[in-house]
Structure 1
């Protein structure tokens, strides 16, 4: 009997292992189709992986095609299937049937993350917006009208954001906006020059709009924060894309993005270069009410740029829980700015005293570089339990020379020949440490600190042509030194349950600011410490309705060009200058947001209130018929507003996006015995219908309107514009052909009027219509890789 038991046990064991061996060698094919649950539309380029059910080791993977279909295979026996895509909840399939070596999953429906507490997604074929507890994420990928455009123009397509024709950025009508790249200050987003011009739309993955930031973010930016996230692939093998654009006025660029993913390394690079011409027509009128004399000007100027940009970097995955990233960027701009402006000088009777033409020839070389070292550790107990350390350094330089000559056409001889030279250097360093600990499933603690160092030197020389030689103008020449150091520490605590959540935080920042005018030995030294509390909460009533509320305190520190008293004299009768004695603005911001769905439509609506003290306003004065515009701290501003964003998908071939913003403001303040108390309102609207046409053609129209509004000394006019984008898919979507026309009717203007007791000033600016055609090709999507905690 014992021998029988022994041999029977041996036989059963042998049978089990033999069967296991055979099953290991059997190839199992897995296939199906992925669709979105709410719209039933196919989801392309989603990730499907087969993983070990115990260790989570990835056995194989694939991405869905344009129709949402996928197919992959494995020889393993014990496994699960995981489906994931950005903006959607992950789906794990552990129960399935194998028939004849095949697993047919049929139609799989992914559910939008809008069903979770802290994130609601409004999804469609155009750029999608994801709503999170303290920000909105605008994914740029499929925005047609951004073809061939720069990062600055991409921002102009973001809800709540407006970019003026001079590149000035506002958020909900407010100018105090902090621009970040990948969550950090960057030379690529510096306002010292056309920095965002070296970033093309193809390099941008998403833009985070943060109107009421938590304490984790630096407190700078009273209007809010715009965080630009650049693309970086993490798929196995070689991956990349090539994009070429051409347009009129001259707008030509080519970009290459390459990525190589191995088990330990992720190598990535982006190369770009191009040439663009930016013509602008402008006119102005200065009327001196004391002398009743008038200065008229009208002309066209160009900003022509040749630019190059290269980014190199690598992620080194030390192990499953530690990643080290080193990246660097170098960009070079070569500027050429020719212009020609005609001036007329009229007496009190309107008779011509003199008429002359002023010509400008400006050349500049702008090198910029940046490096970023980042270390991230994820703890074994939870992938969200992490420590991240980073160091960033950057440099921006400008070597510029301008020559101004005058030619008298009629009347008195007008000799205002001048030349200027600028030697500008800006060096920044940022050091950050961020720690996150999910103490329980509901409770999360965040701690961190940041130290930012800014050093600037601006040597500016103006020379006037006097009696056959150039003589330095001591009134406009000086060397300006600027140094600002900001140390911040923060802590947040979040408690989130299925239906509701709350997140509170406190940030403390110490600011040390020093400015020095070398020639005049004028100094402005400031050292102050501020506390910035934040509070956010959310409540989910149902799957279709949820609410969010938030409070934060913000600061707007005067930036370099607000403080620098030296200026560009292209139009030497209308001059913008800085003020080295400016103080910081402070804003208390309150916001209540509702996110809801009604049938085929989804909306996000917000009520907000902002109260700002020591508001920085540009105030104009007149001296010898020349109008100077300088910033000053002028009183307070109380603003209450309403904003709504919506999407409606009535049919499969039509998607409509719209956003509307209205605010009422009450200004209080005085300046040099002038009373600047007044109230007013402004509003803006944007409507973007997208049509899916036959033959894989998409058509997108974007119409927008910006109302006029009252300023401290006058008013700014309204304008309306229309953009058009067309896209054609070729070779099953691997090749994209894009055509865009921005400002179809050339109606985007900047028009302002200032009226004071002693003078009047009118200014008008218009940029030309832009037409661009682009072609892009993506290759090597490769096998999907999935590492714990490394998905972006």
Structure 2
């Protein structure tokens, strides 16, 4: 630690000596509402040429209303603006020692503008910070009727497959957070993240190289979903109605009441949704020259009810308490039919139909208590404590019937029952202390307790009696506790910024199969260093570089050895003996603003040990897929993002990611070594049409890439949206079409000397029409009809 402290101070002194530039000016201040004195987040502050009035550069305010940026210009005016408030122009100001401190700027409400509910900044955009990228979620047309999973698909560097698995730069080792904290909603195995709706999201933070302040979980980085919390005074709200095909019918109400001391908020929703799926799978036994093929489809129907209640209590200007709670209840039914055919030497010998009827109920609740203290000596000097509790349950039963249509295979019936419970508790304490004007120290700790139980039973009906299969039935308990402490030190000057930190985490994991008494116990302690440096070459060019060490801990769905028998010849299961994987992550990013174009170009390098990868084994015509620690992975890649606004009525954004990887490892004595490449791209055009219509179209492409036993095929799809505002924006009509040409198909093959497999999944086109009405100081917002936490 002494060496780290000395090296850090050496670089701080070096960087401080480099930033001395008499012509550079730092402009800072804080923007608040004139009546309530509440800070205004995302207000725009820009400087413009005093003669031509042409904008030069600027920034937006942070959560506490503060801002700071630098410029070398000398003859300029300062403009401050935000939707619903009168713009303020400052033509006179004082320059002291190269700094312009504007102090507190108070904006008055624009009554006329509020009456018209003029909506600005509707297009989603990405903002770059020292150690993260912030994707501010606008009212993108294709987001109407969408869940958080679909919004994530619009975020640069992020991909979501048909089963809800999230990857960042091609890696699935992602730590998902909600409002900066772990949540049961982010467990990808339960797909509960789909219960967050698009209009609930304020922004998505993508942290590819997290500082030591953040939980070390997630080898490819962290994605933090920040939900909206209405802050306008008075009574505000919106009502939304959605209809769609396949079924996407819902009604939602959002209400907020703000007084001087209290901010009360609530959301109610009820709806019904259908998710159709088409599946194809093949198992080829190359030794015995046999093929088993299944073709099927199914519908998953969900009826959901949800409510959220919460309040902020401002004890005084320095102390705020927040308490919120939510409850959701879902009723699911799923029906599927799969047609099986078995060929020997290309001759059909057996065929049968397997049908499924599944019913489930899912109760979910979550509560949070938060206390924040702001110290008077500095606006960024604060203490934050939070306690979060959540629960997700599933009571599910399934009936399977096999009926032979050709051959001698006997008919039989199976039943399964699942009783799943997951409880998670997170306690977090963070302290931030700025000092010496440009330095900031952060200290904190976090304790996460995760308790999961999965009771799974499989039985076969014989003479009207259910006979339990002991090989497929068991109670699996999973308990994981993680304690972390951290410290960071940061410096931010006019041109240079540097931040270093160290995090220590202890993990205590225990799993047990109750019926067999098979235990897996792990306890390990690790250090996770991080370092970030930024350099502002000019108002239009900046550089960022960073390093962090990360961990991916196997989760319940990685460890649980039991599975769904929808297709009992094509099985996916867990591995209770998995070990964690560790990644060293390096990246360098450049950010450019040229005329009407802004873009960034980045390079990254990830080296992962004990990488977790799925492998497939084959026995008696049954393919079993499960995860193993498959050796090392060395990935190098480049990333490009751009936004171009050639006209006031049009904006184009594009995202491109390419990487090459080298895999080394073995499985059952066979080498898994290979090299490969993969890339993906996304482009979106947003156009303002005559008669007040807005139009949006986007295209996505993900390349084919090699895996340790086969390949994932490429994927191409497009979305579009059309919107019309009515009655001065009080009502918004929106049409959204996702996967226009029904080309979003996921295909995966395994090619081995003795066998091969093929799997194909598709969900098809979704069309949604919505009407939204905003009242008070609220805006018409699309309640997407997705399930709520």
Instruction: Using structure 2 for the length normalisation, give the TM-score.
Output: 0.85
Mean Cα deviation higher: 254-263 or 211-220: 254-263
Pick the aligned partner of 1:780 from 757, 776, 779.
776
Deviation at 1:35, TM superposition (A): 9.7
Q: Deviations over 1:717-759 (max 9, x none)?
A: 0011110011111122222111111001110111011011221
Pick the aligned partner of 1:345 from 330, 342, 345.
342
Deviation at 1:215, TM superposition (A): 0.7
Pick the aligned partner of 2:221 from 224, 228, 235.
224
Identify unmatched segments of 5+ residues in structure 1: 1-32, 48-60, 72-78, 83-88, 97-101, 105-122, 784-792
2:762 pairs with 1:760: no
**Structure-2 residue corresponding to 1:643:** 639
**Structure-2 residue corresponding to 1:317:** 314
**Structure-2 residue corresponding to 1:622:** 618
Equivalent-residue separation in structure 2 for 1:602 and 1:581 (angstroms): 47
Deviation at 1:187, TM superposition (A): 2.2
Counterpart mapping for 1:377-526 below 5 A: 377-526=373-522
Equivalent-residue separation in structure 2 for 1:377 and 1:651 (angstroms): 45
Conserved? CA contact 2:439–2:489, under 8 Å:
yes
Equivalent-residue separation in structure 2 for 1:644 and 1:533 (angstroms): 27
Q: Deviations over 1:81-138 (max 9, x none)?
A: 99xxxxxx99779899xxxxx999xxxxxxxxxxxxxxxxxx9652011111111111
**Structure-1 residue corresponding to 2:564:** 568
Conserved? CA contact 1:81–1:94, under 8 Å:
no
Structure 1 SS opposite 2:509? strand
Equivalent-residue separation in structure 2 for 1:628 and 1:192 (angstroms): 18
Structure 2 SS opposite 1:695? helix
2:266 pairs with 1:269: yes
2:595 pairs with 1:612: no
**Structure-2 residue corresponding to 1:23:** none
Q: Label 1:564 to 1:643 Cα distance change in 2 as closer, same or farther (>3 A).
A: same
**Structure-2 residue corresponding to 1:117:** none
**Structure-1 residue corresponding to 2:143:** 146
Q: Label 1:451 to 1:35 Cα distance change in 2 as closer, same or farther (>3 A).
A: closer
Pick the aligned partner of 2:543 from 534, 543, 547.
547
2:208 pairs with 1:211: yes
Equivalent-residue separation in structure 2 for 1:210 and 1:92 (angstroms): 31
Equivalent-residue separation in structure 2 for 1:452 and 1:528 (angstroms): 15
Equivalent-residue separation in structure 1 for 2:92 and 2:685 (angstroms): 37
Deviation at 1:294, TM superposition (A): 1.2
Equivalent-residue separation in structure 2 for 1:373 and 1:389 (angstroms): 8
Counterpart mapping for 1:274-293 below 5 A: 274-293=271-290
Deviation at 1:466, TM superposition (A): 3.1
Q: Deviations over 1:515-559 (max 9, x none)?
A: 000111100000000000000010000000000000000000000
Pick the aligned partner of 2:573 from 565, 573, 577.
577
Please say which structure displays the higher CA radius of gyration.
1
Deviation at 1:200, TM superposition (A): 1.1
Determine which structure has greater relative contact order: mean sequence separation of CA pairs < 8 Å that are 6+ residues apart, divided by chain length: 2
Mean Cα deviation higher: 599-608 or 581-590: 599-608
Conserved? CA contact 2:230–2:256, under 8 Å:
yes
Q: Label 1:473 to 1:647 Cα distance change in 2 as closer, same or farther (>3 A).
A: same
Q: Label 1:385 to 1:352 Cα distance change in 2 as closer, same or farther (>3 A).
A: same
2:352 pairs with 1:333: no
2:657 pairs with 1:661: yes
**Structure-1 residue corresponding to 2:156:** 159
Conserved? CA contact 1:145–1:723, under 8 Å:
yes
Deviation at 1:239, TM superposition (A): 1.2
For the aligned residues, what is the CA RMSD? 2.8
Equivalent-residue separation in structure 1 for 2:671 and 2:624 (angstroms): 19
Pick the aligned partner of 2:255 from 258, 277, 284.
258
Equivalent-residue separation in structure 2 for 1:566 and 1:752 (angstroms): 22
Q: Deviations over 1:433-453 (max 9, x none)?
A: 000000121110000000000
Identify unmatched segments of 5+ residues in structure 2: 1-42, 49-53, 63-79, 94-99, 111-119, 780-789
Equivalent-residue separation in structure 2 for 1:758 and 1:624 (angstroms): 12
Conserved? CA contact 1:299–1:340, under 8 Å:
yes
Deviation at 1:253, TM superposition (A): 2.0
Equivalent-residue separation in structure 2 for 1:710 and 1:227 (angstroms): 29
Structure 2 SS opposite 1:167? coil
Deviation at 1:192, TM superposition (A): 3.9
Mean Cα deviation higher: 479-488 or 142-151: 142-151
**Structure-2 residue corresponding to 1:245:** 242
Q: Deviations over 1:533-589 (max 9, x none)?
A: 000010000000000000000000000000000001101110100000000010000
Q: Deviations over 1:416-470 (max 9, x none)?
A: 4211000111111100000000012111000000000001111100002234432
2:196 pairs with 1:179: no
Equivalent-residue separation in structure 2 for 1:90 and 1:129 (angstroms): 27
Mean Cα deviation higher: 577-586 or 262-271: 262-271
Deviation at 1:80, TM superposition (A): 13
Conserved? CA contact 1:222–1:587, under 8 Å:
yes
2:293 pairs with 1:296: yes
Q: Label 1:443 to 1:389 Cα distance change in 2 as closer, same or farther (>3 A).
A: same
Counterpart mapping for 1:61-210 below 5 A: 64=83, 125-210=122-207
Conserved? CA contact 2:45–2:81, under 8 Å:
no
Q: Deviations over 1:243-282 (max 9, x none)?
A: 2211110011222211111111111111122111000101
**Structure-2 residue corresponding to 1:114:** none
2:598 pairs with 1:602: yes
Deviation at 1:387, TM superposition (A): 0.5
Equivalent-residue separation in structure 2 for 1:527 and 1:260 (angstroms): 47
Pick the aligned partner of 1:556 from 552, 559, 579.
552
2:355 pairs with 1:359: yes
Equivalent-residue separation in structure 2 for 1:396 and 1:80 (angstroms): 56
